[in-house]
């Protein structure tokens, strides 16, 4: 009886522990853990993943295409493109660093915690800039517009919203607990039944041994 009680208690305690895993943080982990990526054809990240011929990139692109997570030129005009309510836990957004920080901060919880995690591994590092000759007639136009943006606080808001992580990531070390499937429970039941059976055999052996000893 003691063996049965201890075994059943330990098994119950084990089943009470939620199955939690950290979100993938590398491209390789996205592939091996069967995650997919969400791509928008309006951005260069779509072409970057599509045209990169390494096995992991091609696997992710093929998987995204098969699962319907490649979208046709939504661009910045569709606000719902970064709505986390439309995302499943096994989908990763692919975007530039500025967009990633903005999305991360925008979808923070009311208590200031992060609801999203971002990968430290970049898919590609590209720098964009607009170069004008010193004597270009367009330079004064751009300078004037930049001064206006600084005075009106546009640049400050842009940097404040789109650079750096503002939410707290300490509470986002793990993903949501995964529900156990029926097949997993069936296997556990077999283990439990086997353990109880062994415990019963031990108990019957002790009873038999005690009976034989009493007769002698």
> 104-162 pLDDT, tens per residue?
888 888 888 888 888 877 777 666 677 888 888 888 888 899 899 888 888 777 777 76
Output the CA–CA distances (angstroms, integers) from residue 169 to 95, 104, 142, 172, 203, in the order listed: 19, 10, 38, 5, 52
pTM above 0.75, yes or no: no
- What is the structure's pLDDT at 189? 73
pLDDT attached to residue 212: 73
Which residue stretches of the chain have pLDDT < 70?
1-21, 74-88, 125-128, 162, 170-188, 215-216
Q: Give the tokens for residue 30.
A: 């996205």
Rounded Cα distance, 180 and 184, in Å? 6
Do 93 and 35 contact (CB within 8 A), yes or no? Answer: no
| Residue 7 confidence (pLDDT) | 67
């Amino acid at each position: 009886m003691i063996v049965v009680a201890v075994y059943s208690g330990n098994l119950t305690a084990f089943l009470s522990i939620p199955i939690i895993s950290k979100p993938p943080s590398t491209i390789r982990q996205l592939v091996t853990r069967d995650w997919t990526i969400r791509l928008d054809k309006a951005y260069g990240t779509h072409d970057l993943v599509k045209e990169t011929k390494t096995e992991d990139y091609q696997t992710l692109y093929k998987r995204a295409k098969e699962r319907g997570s490649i979208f046709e030129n939504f661009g910045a005009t569709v606000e719902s493109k970064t709505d986390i309510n439309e995302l499943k836990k096994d989908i990763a957004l692919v975007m530039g660093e500025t967009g990633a920080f903005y999305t991360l901060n925008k979808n923070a919880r009311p208590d200031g915690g992060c609801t999203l995690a971002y990968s430290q591994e970049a898919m590609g590092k590209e720098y964009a800039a607009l170069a004008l000759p010193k004597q270009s007639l367009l330079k004064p136009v751009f300078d004037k517009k930049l001064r206006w943006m600084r005075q009106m606080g546009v640049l400050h808001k842009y940097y404040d919203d789109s650079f750096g992580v503002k939410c707290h990531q300490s509470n986002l070390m793990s993903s949501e607990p995964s529900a156990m499937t029926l097949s997993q429970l069936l296997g556990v039941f077999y283990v439990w039944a086997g353990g109880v059976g062994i415990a019963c055999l031990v108990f019957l052996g002790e009873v038999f041994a005690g009976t034989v000893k009493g007769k002698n």
